[in-house]
Amino acid sequence: MVASSRQEAVVIGAGVSGLTTAIRLAETGVRVQVIAGRPPSRTTSALAGASWGPYMVDDERVTGWSATTLDEFARIADGDDCGVRFVRGMEASVEPAEPPAWATALSDYRLCDSTELPAGFVIGWWHTIPLIDMPVYLRYLTARLARSGVRVTELPRPLRSFAEVSLPGVLINCTGLGARDLTKDPDLQATRGQLVVVDNPGVDWFFQDSAEHGDLTYFLPHGDHVVMGGIAVDHDDAKDALQPDPAVEKGIRERCELIEPRLAGAAVRERRVGLRPNRAAGVRVEVDRSGDRTVIHNYGHSGCGVTLSWGCADEVVALLAGLRPGSE
């Protein structure tokens, strides 16, 4: 469904959801402006690992949204310096589990035999999925948006209410965890993540366990560097929330190095800590006419923002196209 070229939209937020949504809107003829409290390079999205795959989200719409994103990644991968590469690797579980349907549907999926599993894991499977180097990918999205004539306008501070937006058009709320205060949404909570980026000693496969809370184990190669993680723990947004914890980093390295010994001693390039926007009620993608302005919400993706990004963006386009002219 293509939105009317007469429509205008103001996308709030410049993380992966905001940029992707703005691109889809602009490429379907909507007049778009993007405003954000921080540039793409300083958003939570820039701190992600990241790999494609539904994660930490319980929502029946996830399957369709993630499939749309997978199709887009297949279209753009390995081109235009976009930061998206398809890599073969393993997902495994320390508890008996059924491989998820999205994994078994991939063309090269196969179960691991017992000799392939790392110590302590009882089931695993091989598949090829997109790995996304987020700083590179966000630059790609920003440049793609600019080719549609749209640039990100950085605000002097985050919005405190939608009433502060004087620009015309439907508001598209892609503010991630910031939506908790902006919309007074009690279902939105922070889930802390931490990872460490190291020089790549020659690792060309990925590993990730199937845990969604507590200590996580994953390593994702991105050319000359590897992202190692992680954790997923509830957090109260204290001032030290984004400070790396040396004890957590030590645990991450030990877990990853047991599975891939070549990572032992790899030089640290960067440490990243971020807060995932976890929403107990599921992802919020819907039209909201409760205030003075019509708002289409697109937030609450938890650890799945990249995976759902293009699917949710298409949903926003459809919702905007369904609004009657003048109803915004």
115 is in an annotated binding site: no
CA atoms within 13 A on the CB side of 185: 27
Buried b (16+ CB within 10 A) or exposed e, 295-306: bbbbbbbbbbbb
> CA 13 to CA 125: how far, in whole Å?
36
55 is in an annotated binding site: no
**CA Rg value for the chain:** 20
140 is in an annotated binding site: no
Phi, psi of 119 (to 5 degrees): -55, 135
Q: Is 205 helix (H, G, I), strand (E, B) or coil?
A: coil
Q: How many CB atoms lie within 10 A of CB 94?
A: 15
In the structure encoding, which two tokens stand for residue 205, read together?
Answer: 């496969």
Q: Which residues is 35 bridged to in the sheet? A: 12, 153
Q: Contact, 73 vs 130, CB < 8 A?
A: yes
299 is in an annotated binding site: no
Residues of each annotated binding site for FAD = 44-45, 175
Residues of each annotated binding site = 44-45, 175, 218, 276, 303
Residues of each annotated binding site for D-dopa = 218, 276, 303
